[in-house]
Amino acid sequence: MIENEKLLMEDSLHDYQRFCVTFLEEHPQGALFLDCGLGKTVIALTAIAHLLYDSYEVSRVLIIAPLRVARDTWAAELEKWEHLKGLTLERVIGSEKERIAALARNAVLYVINRENVEWLVKHYAGRRLPFDMLVIDELSSFKNSHAKRFLALKRVLGQFTRVVGLTGTPAPNGLEDLWPQVFLLDRGVRLGRTMKSYLDMFFTTPNSWLPYKHELKPGAEEEIYKRIGDICVSMKASDHIQMPERVDNIVELTLSAREEKLYRQMERDMLLPYADGDILAINAATLAGKLLQLANGACYDENHNVRVIHQRKLDALEDLIEAANGKPVLVMYSYQHDLARIQERFGKYGPDHPEGVRELKTAQDMEDWNAGRILIAATQPAATGHGLNLQHGGSTIVWFGLNWSLELYEQANARLWRQGQKDTVVIHHLVVKGTMDEQVMQALKDKAADQNALLAAVKARIKNTRTTGK
Q: How confident is the model at residue 408 (pLDDT cuts 50, 70, 90)?
A: confident
User: Under a CB-based contact definition with an 8 Å cutoff, are residues 359 and 365 in contact?
Assistant: yes
pLDDT score for 349: 83
- Between 194 and 417, the more confident residue is 194
Least reliable range by pLDDT among 122-131, 386-395, 411-420:
386-395
Does 10-241+457-468 match 242-254+311-433 in CATH topology? Answer: yes
Q: Which residue has the higher pLDDT, 88 or 37?
A: 88
Top-level CATH class of 10-241+457-468?
alpha beta
Quick one: pLDDT at residue 465? 37
User: Rounded mean pLDDT of 442-453?
Assistant: 82
Question: For the residues 377-400, what does the mean pLDDT come to?
Answer: 84
Helices (H) and strands (E) in the chain, counts: 19, 19
94, 113 contact by CB (below 8 A): no
Listed in sequence order, the residues at least 6 apart from 328 whose beta carbon sits closer than 8 Å to its beta carbon are: 369, 372, 374, 375, 376, 377, 393, 394, 396
Q: Where are the domains of the chain?
A: 10-241+457-468, 242-254+311-433
Dump pLDDT digits (tens) for 148-164: 999 999 999 999 999 99
Contact of 170 with 181, CB cutoff 8 Å? yes
Strand partners for 378: 331, 359
Greater confidence (354 vs 430) lies with 430
**pLDDT at residue 446 greater than cutoff 90:** no
Q: What's the pLDDT tens digit per position in 51-71?
A: 999 999 999 999 999 887 898
In CATH, the architecture of 242-254+311-433 is 3-Layer(aba) Sandwich (3.40)
pLDDT digits (tens, 9 = 90+) for 324-381: 878 899 999 999 999 999 999 999 887 777 778 999 988 888 889 999 999 999 999 8
pTM of the model: 0.66
- Whether pLDDT at 313 is above 60: yes
User: CB within 8 A of 302, min separation 6: which ones?
Assistant: 277, 278, 279, 280
Across the chain, mean pLDDT equals 88
pLDDT at 2 over 80: no
Q: How far apart are CA 181 and CA 201, in angstroms?
A: 17
Give the lowest-confidence range in 57-66, 302-311, 445-454. Answer: 445-454
